[in-house]
Structure 1
């Protein structure tokens, strides 16, 4: 798929638009274009193969700026009542693999299920047991994924 022109609503902190789905092929958006090159290639290849099985990938989060990650952490503290509880779901900007471009969140649930079952063929693994949607390159293509960590806090 050819990338489209950058729409004016493309936010360069990695925040995704609420009114439109972003796919792994929407490289006009920083959340996708700023993913680590190998991760982006693996997600695009997996998305092509999943499409053959009738499964479509939506990027629900990708690369994020440090500022965007900090906002998400602050929202998590507000939602969960403490930094400790929020850290189970949201990492600090310094530790976030989203900020480094080494993580991507995929939806909907059928896409997560497909990636959990077949992602290791591309090196993609579910990183956290409490986040079915969060994938990182944690093995070589065709390798075995490690057991997901309990949560983002470790």
Structure 2
């Protein structure tokens, strides 16, 4: 039986409202100031935890939540190794978003289209359910600027790489990163060939 370490247990479980993966201006400010990325959350009538919505305070050790439990096992193992090392530096990895159901991903895209005014602009921030690495369990959005700064400096040692320049919170596993370093980042998801389906 695996247990969540006491330091990894959330203390508060407030629910938040689902949002697309951030505002353009917010992302620029986030990148420039190293602030925390957008948070995954709930809105009225939204899909819930079973679809990958994440309450506040979730860490990579919260194995009971589908957003964490449904991550690719290799990605989750790397995240947990990195989080254990980061804890020695006083840094905790909070999960703002991990695995998502196709329905939840579709909802986020609809909300982003409404927010940004077009699907083309929305897709700079939110992928379709058919192309999203979140739906495949191959991506995680890490909250708190100290955690993303730690991953920026040390993530490659664990195969964890930031993929999009406009999303400093979005990390995926690149197994050869420890030997070769992380691949060059895409400006945003629209530049990623995987999104062209």
Paired residue for 2:127? 91
How many residues are treated as equivalent by the alignment?
Answer: 149
Paired residue for 2:151? 115
CA distance in 1, matches of 2:123, 2:151: 24
Query: Deviation of residue 3 (structure 1)?
Result: 4.2
Paired residue for 2:169? 133
Q: 2:142 aligns to what SS in structure 1?
A: strand
1:41-84 residue CA offsets vs partner (Å, 9 max, x unmatched) = 00011001001011111000000000000000001101111100
TM-score by length of 2: 0.72
Within 5 Å, give how 1:5-84 maps onto structure 2. Answer: 11-17=49-55, 20-84=56-120
**CA-based RMSD:** 1.8
Query: Deviation of residue 24 (structure 1)?
Result: 0.2
Q: Is the CA contact 1:3–1:28 (under 8 Å) kept in the aligned structure 2?
A: no
CA distance in 1, matches of 2:156, 2:51: 29
Name the one with the larger helix percent: 2
CA distance in 2, matches of 1:84, 1:150: 15
When structure 1 is superposed on structure 2, of 42-51 and 135-144 the one drifting more is: 135-144
Name the one with the larger strand percent: 1
Q: Is the CA contact 2:99–2:134 (under 8 Å) kept in the aligned structure 1?
A: yes
Structure 1 gaps of 5+ residues are none
- Runs of 4+ in structure 1 off by over 3 angstroms are none
Q: Is the CA contact 1:125–1:139 (under 8 Å) kept in the aligned structure 2?
A: no
Query: Deviation of residue 139 (structure 1)?
Result: 3.9
